[in-house]
Amino acid sequence: MTKRALITGITGQDGSYLAELLLDKGYEVSGLVRRSSTDTRERIAHIVPRVHLIPGDMSDQGSLIDVMAEAQPDEVYNLAAQSFVGDSWKQALYTGDVDALGVTRLLEAIRRKAPSARFYQASSSEMFGKVREVPQVETTPFHPRSPYGVAKVYGYFITLNYRESFGMHASNGILFNHESPRRGIEFVTRKITDGVAKIKLGLADELRLGNLDSQRDWGFAGDYVEMMWLMLQQDEPDDYVVATGVMHTVRQFCEIAFAHVGLDYEQFVVVDDRFVRPAEVDLLLGDSAKAKRVLGWEPKVSFNALVELMVDADMERLAPIAAAGASEPR
Amino acid sequence: MTTRALITGAAGQDGTYLTELLIGKGYEVYGVIGPAPGAFRDGIGRWGEAYTVLSADLTDMESLLRAVEVSRPDEVYNLAAQSSVGGSWVDAVTTTEVNAVGVVRLLEAVRQTAPQAHVFQAASAEMFGNGAEVPQRESTPLRPHSPYAATKAYAFHIARSYRESYGMHVSSGIMFNHESPLRGMQFVTRKITNTVARIKLGLADELCLGNLDAKRDWGFAGDYVEAMRLMLQSAEADDYVIATGEVHTVRDFCETAFSHVGLDWRRYVRTDEASMRPVDVDVLCGDSSKARRLLGWEPKVRFEELAAMMVDADMQLESQADGPVRS
Which is nearest to B178 in space by CA: B32, B15, B326? Answer: B15
User: What residues of A are in contact with residue B146 (Cβ under 8 Å)?
Assistant: 161, 165
B153 in A contact zone (CB under 8 Å): yes
Question: How many other C-beta atoms lie within 10 A of the C-beta of residue B235?
Answer: 6
Hey, which residues of B are catalytic here? Answer: 124, 126, 148
Residue B280 or residue A102, greater confidence: A102
| Contact criterion met (CB below 8 Å) for A290 and A240 | yes
pLDDT tens digits for range B302-311? 999 999 999 9
Write the class of the CATH domain B4-178+218-242: alpha beta
Residue A320 has pLDDT above 80, yes or no: yes
- Report the C-alpha gap between A322 and A318 in whole angstroms: 6
ipTM of the complex: 0.84
pLDDT tens digits for range B135-149? 999 999 999 999 999
> CA of A34, closest CA in chain B: separation in Å?
20
Q: Do B165 and A279 touch (CB under 8 A)?
A: yes
B205 in A contact zone (CB under 8 Å): no
| Residues forming a β-bridge with A271 | A209
Angle CA A188–A192–A195, to nearest 5? 135
Which pLDDT score, from 0 to 100, does residue B154 have? 98
Which pLDDT score, from 0 to 100, does residue A215 have? 87
Tell me which of A78-87, A321-330, B41-50, B64-73 is least confident.
Answer: A321-330
What's the start-to-end Cα distance of chain A, in Å?
60
Instruction: Examine the residue annotation and report whether A120 is marked as an active-site residue of this protein.
Output: no
Which pLDDT score, from 0 to 100, does residue A242 have? 97
Which is nearest to B101 in space by CA: A92, A6, A275, A169? Answer: A92
Tell me which of A47-61, A265-279, A290-304, B173-187 is least confident.
Answer: A265-279
| Residue A253, H or E segment | helix A250-260
Which is nearest to A247 in space by CA: A125, A152, A68, A156? Answer: A125
Helix, strand, coil percent content, chain A, rounded in steps of 5:
45, 15, 40
| Residues forming a β-bridge with A269 | A207
| Residues forming a β-bridge with A131 | none
User: What residues of A are in contact with residue B142 (Cβ under 8 Å)?
Assistant: 141-142
pLDDT tens digits for range A11-20? 999 999 999 9
Q: What does each C-alpha distance from B97 to A95, A159, B19, B121 come to in angstroms?
A: 12, 17, 25, 16
Q: What does each C-alpha distance from A310 to A142, A206, A208, A224, B260 come to in angstroms?
A: 31, 18, 18, 16, 74
pLDDT band at B325 (very low <50, low <70, confident <90, very high): low
Would you say domain B183-216+247-279+302-319 falls under CATH 3.30.300.90? no
b/e A255-273 (16+ beta carbons within 10 angstroms → b): bbbbbbbeeebeebbeeee
- Report the C-alpha gap between A25 and B208 in whole angstroms: 54
Question: What are the residue boundaries of the structural domains of chain B, listed by start?
Answer: 4-178+218-242, 183-216+247-279+302-319
Residue B4 has pLDDT above 90, yes or no: yes
* Strand, coil or helix: A68: helix
Amino acid occupying residue B112: Q
Tell me which of A95-109, A279-293, B2-16 is least confident.
Answer: A279-293
> CA of A7, closest CA in chain B: separation in Å?
21
Minimal Cβ distance to B150: which of A132, A141, A158: A158
- Report the C-alpha gap between A156 and A123 in whole angstroms: 6
Tell me which of A214-228, B107-121, B312-326 is least confident.
Answer: B312-326
| Contact criterion met (CB below 8 Å) for A215 and A264 | no
Concatenated DSSP letters for B174-200?
Answer: EEPPEE-TTS-TTSHHHHHHHHHHHHH
Which pLDDT score, from 0 to 100, does residue A330 have? 46
Q: Is B44 exposed, middle or buried (0-12, 13-18, 19+ CB in 10 A)?
A: middle
Which is nearest to B27 in space by CA: B63, B53, B1, B58? Answer: B1
* Strand, coil or helix: A189: helix
Which pLDDT score, from 0 to 100, does residue A326 have? 67
Tell me the mean pLDDT in the region A69-81: 97
Question: How many other C-beta atoms lie within 10 A of the C-beta of residue A54?
Answer: 17
Minimal Cβ distance to B93: which of A105, A146, A149: A105
pLDDT band at B299 (very low <50, low <70, confident <90, very high): very high
- Report the C-alpha gap between B209 and B201 in whole angstroms: 20
* Strand, coil or helix: B234: coil
Set A124, A146, A180, A214: catalytic member: A124
pLDDT tens digits for range B35-94? 767 778 888 889 999 999 999 999 999 999 999 999 999 999 999 999 888 899 999 999
Q: Do A97 and B101 touch (CB under 8 A)?
A: yes
Angle CA A122–A128–A132, to nearest 5? 150
Which pLDDT score, from 0 to 100, does residue B40 have? 80
Average pLDDT taken over every residue of chain A:
94
Which pLDDT score, from 0 to 100, does residue B280 have? 58
Phi-psi label, residue B323: left if phi above 0, alpha if psi -120 to 50, beta otherwise: left
User: What residues of A are in contact with residue B61 (Cβ under 8 Å)?
Assistant: 93
- Report the C-alpha gap between A217 and A249 in whole angstroms: 9
Average pLDDT taken over every residue of chain B:
93
pLDDT tens digits for range A253-282? 999 999 999 999 999 999 988 877 666 667
